Amino acid sequence: MALRESPLLPVEPPRGTARTGGVTATPPVRRRRRSVGWSGRLEIALLVGPALIVFLAFVIFPVVMAAYYGFFSWQGYGAPTDFVGLRNYLTILQDPTFHDALAHNGIIVVLSLVLQGPVAILLALLLNRKLRGQSFIRVLIFVPYVISEVVVGTGWSLMLQTSGAVNGLLEKVGLGALTQDWLSDPAIAIWTLMLIITWKYIGFAVILFLAGLQGIPEELSEAAAIDGASYWQVQRRITLPLLAPTLRIWAFLSIIGALQLFDLVYIIWGQYVSSTAGTSTMAIYLVTNGRNAGNYGYGNAVAVVLFVISLVVALLYQRFVLRRDTAGALTGDKR
């Protein structure tokens, strides 16, 4: 015969519980950390190993070897034996030609952000609306980005010569007074370069901004419009703040690309004309004074300096921008 608990008798709570004010509190259950066994470690190694090997072989190893060769006066063949210490690096920092190239890179960085950013935002806002031929316009804007730099540089260099298509067109429409030496005049050569860069790379910015715009809920704009906000107020108060993380990613990529600019300048201006036209870059300086001069040790030292500058930009971006955007993604603050 089973015994029943009497309602008049107190029932003791189970062990491990506390009674407070008639309410029984159960302590939280602590989760045990699962130890990763050999199979889990093997799986991690198989997933991470190939990428780590590629990174070490094609990023870290070349940088280390470039830094090593930068301490030698080396012609590119045989083992380096003429150790010069920091002389190559001191020569770089004291060379006025390198200072000019660094200044040109700085100008290209600033103008790329100032010219491409606003235009790309306006185009992205336009293409984010329902328009006829929207897909065709997107293709037209994005096509220059996927065209090879060799093709772009060759085409523009032919059109911008003094007897090229641009000056010929200006003369035919009665604007012969506007014909210029677009490539050799130091006063306008940098602006010619920026025009080509903007035409070539603005498609990437537009596509990136479009992706960011399509991630913004339409309900926010609709609610603001119901409250009486104009179209531009909605863009300024809602769209741009929510698009800020995408803008910062594009700005970082644009800065790194501008610091490493080489192919368009080399194809259009060459290594010698670029220095006199005011369009030389650090990469052009590297090729001119390293490979073409037969001093590969000096060229490796220039490569290390360029790498350090890019690394500083990347670390600053990660420290002050990427962490903020990551924290904002977790907390919902995307300002």
Instruction: State the CATH number of the domain containing residue 213.
Output: 1.10.3720.10
In 10 A of CB 298, how many CB atoms?
A: 25
- The reply to whether 58 falls in a domain is no
Q: What are phi and psi of 289, to 5 degrees?
A: -95, -5
pLDDT at 5: 47
Among 105, 87, 132, which residue's Cα sits nearest to residue 297? 87
- pLDDT interval class at 146 (50, 70, 90): very high
Record the pTM: 0.81
Among 65, 78, 98, 84, which residue's Cα sits nearest to residue 286? 98
- State mean pLDDT over 327-334: 56
pLDDT at 3: 46
Q: Two tokens at 4?
A: 């029943």
pLDDT in tens, 29-43: 565 555 667 877 888
- State mean pLDDT over 145-161: 93
Residue with tokens 């970082």: 252
2/259: higher pLDDT: 259
- The reply to whether 288 falls in a domain is yes
Tell whether the model's pLDDT for residue 248 goes beyond 90.
Answer: yes
- State mean pLDDT over 171-179: 90
- The reply to whether 213 falls in a domain is yes
- The reply to whether 14 falls in a domain is no
The β-bridge partners of 23 are 20
Question: Count of residues for the chain?
Answer: 335
pLDDT at 329: 54
- The reply to whether 4 falls in a domain is no
Q: Tell me how far apart the alpha carbons of residues 154 and 255 are, in angstroms, rounded to a whole number.
A: 24
Q: How many domains does the chain have?
A: 1
- The reply to whether 267 falls in a domain is yes
- The reply to whether 203 falls in a domain is yes
- The reply to whether 278 falls in a domain is yes
Could you tell me the residue range of the domain that residue 246 belongs to?
96-150+183-299
pLDDT at 6: 47
What is the torsional sign of CA 261, 267, 271, 276? negative
